[in-house]
Amino acid sequence: MMTYISCFFLGGFILSMVAVACNPSPFYGSFGLVAVAGFGCAVVVGSGGTFLALILVMIYVGAMLVVFVYSAALAADRYPESWGSGGVAGQAMGYLLGVMVASGFFWKEEYGVLWGFGGSVEELAPQRGDIGGVSWMYSLGGPLLVISAGALLLTLFVVFEVTRLLHRGAFR
């Protein structure tokens, strides 16, 4: 039963990415990316990483995709293309065909689908599974966090310079 559920989420992951790859308009692409994130979250939960799945949903869908949707509203068509226009349906069929051919070569049934609880221990430890792993980032990976914060600050200045916000503000 769990194998069926895991295979359903894996299949949904791939099919939603087919929808993202051949999107007719960024609106539909963003919606497809939300679906990919949801199925990916379910796949990670099925392997025991509940904290990582929560982080994925909150930060990816809740923050980054919201920014993407705002940008899609900024640079939007008045009449966006839909799924039937152009060669979009043909492209989607082509991608699906490619995925099916590849899965015929690579998807071996004898391996099955692994599912379980990450870092299963016999007794209840204070740190179980992925929460214990993520906390390493704060203890031993402290310098790495400082360097990453410096990189994020640098990205802020890159964005300021690309959009010329510091020099001229929002005026054209």
Partner 1 sequence: MTPPHFAFSATFILALTGLVFHRTHLLSALLCLEGMMLSLFVALSLWALQLDITSFLASPLLLLAFSACEASTGLALLAATARTHGSDRLQSLNLLQC
Considering only residues 47 to 76 of the shown chain, the ones binding partner 1 according to CB under 8 A are 47-49, 52, 55-56, 59-60, 63-65, 67-68, 71-72, 74-75
How far is Cα 145 from Cα 151, in angstroms, rounded to an integer? Answer: 10
How far is Cα 69 from Cα 61, in angstroms, rounded to an integer? Answer: 10
Q: Which residue from 2, 89, 93, 159 is in contact with partner 1, where contact means CB under 8 A?
A: 159
Q: How far is CA 122 from CA 47, 54, 125, 128, in A?
A: 18, 25, 9, 11
Nearer to partner 1, 89 or 164 (CB): 164
How far is Cα 137 from Cα 160, in angstroms, rounded to an integer? Answer: 29
Scanning residues 109 to 128, which ones bind partner 1 (CB under 8 A)?
111-114, 116, 118-119
We find the least distance from the C-beta atom of residue 70 to partner 1, in angstroms, to be 9
By CB under 8 A, is residue 35 in contact with partner 1? no
Beta strands in the chain (DSSP E): none
By CB under 8 A, is residue 92 in contact with partner 1? no
Contacts of 52 (CB under 8 A, 6+ apart): 44, 130, 134
How far is Cα 36 from Cα 167, in angstroms, rounded to an integer? Answer: 38
Q: How many of the chain's residues bind partner 1 (CB under 8 A)?
A: 75
We find the least distance from the C-beta atom of residue 73 to partner 1, in angstroms, to be 10
By CB under 8 A, is residue 86 in contact with partner 1? yes
Q: Tokens standing for 113?
A: 């689908």
4: helix, strand or coil: helix
By CB under 8 A, is residue 133 in contact with partner 1? yes
Q: Which residue from 79, 151, 167, 169 is in contact with partner 1, where contact means CB under 8 A?
A: 151
By CB under 8 A, is residue 97 in contact with partner 1? no
Tokens 């993407």 appear where?
Answer: 68
We find the least distance from the C-beta atom of residue 138 to partner 1, in angstroms, to be 9
By CB under 8 A, is residue 23 in contact with partner 1? yes
